[in-house]
Amino acid sequence: MKIRDDLHVLTGSYALDAVPWPEREEFERHLRHCPACEAEVRGMRETAARLATVAVMAPPRRMEQRVLAATYRTRQLPPLARGRQSRRYSGAATARTAAGWLSRDSRHRVRQLVMAAAAVIVAAAIGLGINQAVTQHQLRSSREAGTAITHVITAPDARSHTAGTKAGGAVTVVVSFRQRAAVVATTRIGPLPAGRVYQVWVMTPSGARSAGLFSHAGRNGPLLASGVTPGDKIGITVEPAGGTPRPTTTPIVIVPLPV
């Protein structure tokens, strides 16, 4: 136990490449069996990358031409089969854990989505409780949306993808083709001028159809886009309040769904 605690303290030093051989090797072995350490290392690597923003230096101009030219004579590595992503390039030993499809990180996001979904359902229930005018039908459909979202994000074939948007922040899409649906959520997305909303689209070869609106900056969702099929894309555009039948601006982000 003492040894493990001792090793765990090394997460920080390891993330900064400050663990010398052969201890580094020993720690990497430990990482393979310690998902908590692995997650911590990942967070610290992100943090170190932010430190690098204060270290930015302009490289010599000639470097660009040299590197670009070299790409024309350098063969690229093929992708690794799913489930055996390179440890070297994830920066840490990150054996995919038993649960399969989703990486730890995705599951973390999925957990956030589930919590957000729960919050939406609770909020809807409270709203409905206060407003006696709503019909039983509305109550049921809101509850059904919540259930559908939960079904998608807990589906065994659920896959998650996160992409940055041109408006800042990121969008996370969890898709289950078995459920024929995707769940879309945003974090830290930029604010909009008055009278504008973010509109989510399912983009198919035959055109785009609206999946709903996000009306504010920051965290949004989850929103359910149903009827998605492999190869579709999820896009978000800025549109006039109330939304439009067709996208009228360039998407701030497009997330291709797996084929």
Partner 1 sequence: MCRAAIRMRLCLEWQDMNTPSRHQWRPRLVPAEEPEPDLAGLLAQVARGDHRAFELVYRQLAGPVYGVIRNVLRDPAQSEEVAQEVLLEVWRAASRFDPDRGSAAAWALTIAHRRAVDRVRAEDACGRRERKAAPGMTPECADAAAAVEASLDRERVRRCLDSLTGLQRESIKLAYCRGYSYPQVAQLLGVALGTVKTRIRDGLIRMRDCLEVDW
Q: What is the footprint of partner 1 within residues 165-184 (CB under 8 A)?
A: 165-170
Is 219 within 8 Å of 134 (Cβ atoms)?
no
For partner 1, the closer CB: 95 or 148 = 95
From the list 55, 133, 194, 259, which residue makes contact with partner 1 (rule: CB under 8 A)?
A: 55
From the list 22, 60, 205, 245, which residue makes contact with partner 1 (rule: CB under 8 A)?
A: 60
Tell me the two tokens of residue 120: 């939406």
What residues form DSSP beta bridges with 256?
A: 233
Q: Where are the alpha helices (DSSP H) in 9-162?
A: 11-15, 23-32, 35-51, 62-71, 87-90, 104-130, 136-154
The stretch near partner 1 (CB under 8 A) out of 7-15, 139-147, 177-185, 204-212 is 7-15
From the list 25, 29, 80, 229, which residue makes contact with partner 1 (rule: CB under 8 A)?
A: 80
CB of 129 to partner 1, least distance (A): 26
- Distance, in Å, from the CA atom of 173 to the CA atom of 22, rounded to the nearest integer, reads 41
From the list 42, 152, 199, 225, which residue makes contact with partner 1 (rule: CB under 8 A)?
A: 42
Residue 193, interface with partner 1 (CB under 8 A)? no
What residues form DSSP beta bridges with 210?
A: 201
- Distance, in Å, from the CA atom of 190 to the CA atom of 197, rounded to the nearest integer, reads 11
All residues at 6 or more sequence positions from 145 whose CB lies less than 8 Å from its CB, including other chains: 224
Residue 51, interface with partner 1 (CB under 8 A)? yes
Residues between 134 and 153 that touch partner 1 (CB under 8 A): none
Residues between 85 and 104 that touch partner 1 (CB under 8 A): 85-86, 88-91, 94, 102-103
Query: End-to-end CA distance of the chain, in Å?
Result: 46
Residue 257, interface with partner 1 (CB under 8 A)? no
Residue 50, interface with partner 1 (CB under 8 A)? yes
